[in-house]
Structure 1
């Protein structure tokens, strides 16, 4: 019920587009822009080509990141994330994490889902091409990304618990927990950079886990 309420609220926030033409993806934009495509499907009753364009460096007047929906190359609608764009036969759902896009799917009226296709020039598109052409290397990169998140999480958790245990009411009742890791500031910064790199790589594949990637952020 909460998800349906959130969906309705997001739909109500949609603003009409101005008909501006979609700009092509430039070579310098891989880390600042995400662009996904949904091809036309006449059999499914979807005659138009849709595109979802998200800028990670620009925001609206309130500082929120927006998703822009293009229909046959013209800006059709825009809304702040998370976005739900009703179109023929279903809804395009878009959501982002602190590291990039975590969801960009077309959900048909019958509940089936289809991930939109990343533009081949985007960072997501280049990562998808690596997965197609070098699947073994892609899997190893995915494993390394997971390690870059899990190791900082395991090493940082005891320090977090120690900090929480020092809160006076907790310290008086339960005592102070001493972390077995006495890490320096620079080491903790390195852990944060490691987790950021790992979560960014996962975002390029639209992989997201609320326990791993939220904690890493």
Structure 2
């Protein structure tokens, strides 16, 4: 028996035959995984969205692209340190989602 199995067996208590308590929707905001998931989705969407907006401006100024599509001026101009921080946070959020094997139809729509 491994240490994890032993520790899990100590946490278990014998039941008395009654049914388990129902899940209640108002308990969800109190759970830490809810906030972790919400935070990772928000960081991913905000980080990637803002960085893509700012990346579109220099790419649209390349002469062949500018002739075909026109130029784009980004409505958002963030300092370099904030761009880097948002990029790093977006990478960490996507790694968290990948390592936990989380699926979101909104975020994973582009992959299909």
> Which residue of 207, 210, 214 corresponds with 2:102?
207
- Matched residue SS, 2:74: coil
Counterparts of 1:65-76 in structure 2 under 5 Å? none
Q: 1:204 to 1:174 in 2, by over 3 A?
A: closer
Q: Distance in 1 between matches of 2:67 and 2:33?
A: 50
Instruction: Give the secondary-structure state (helix, strand or coil) at the position aligned to 2:71.
Output: coil
TM-score under structure 2 length normalisation: 0.59
Gaps of 5+ in 1: 1-119, 121-134
Please list the CA deviations of residues 8-63 of structure 1 after superposition, one character each: whole Å capped at 9, or x if unmatched.
Answer: xxxxxxxxxxxxxxxxxxxxxxxxxxxxxxxxxxxxxxxxxxxxxxxxxxxxxxxx
Q: Which has the higher contact order (CA 8 A, sep 6+)?
A: 2
From 19, 32, 36, give the equivalent of 1:141. 36
RMSD across aligned positions (CA): 2.7
- Whole-Å Cα distance in 2 between the matches of residues 209 and 195 of structure 1? 15
Normalised to the residue count of structure 1, the TM-score between the two structures is: 0.33
Number of matched pairs: 81
Is 2:48–2:87's contact at 8 Å kept on the other side of the alignment?
Answer: no
Q: Give ranges in structure 2 of 5+ residues lacking alignment.
A: 5-27
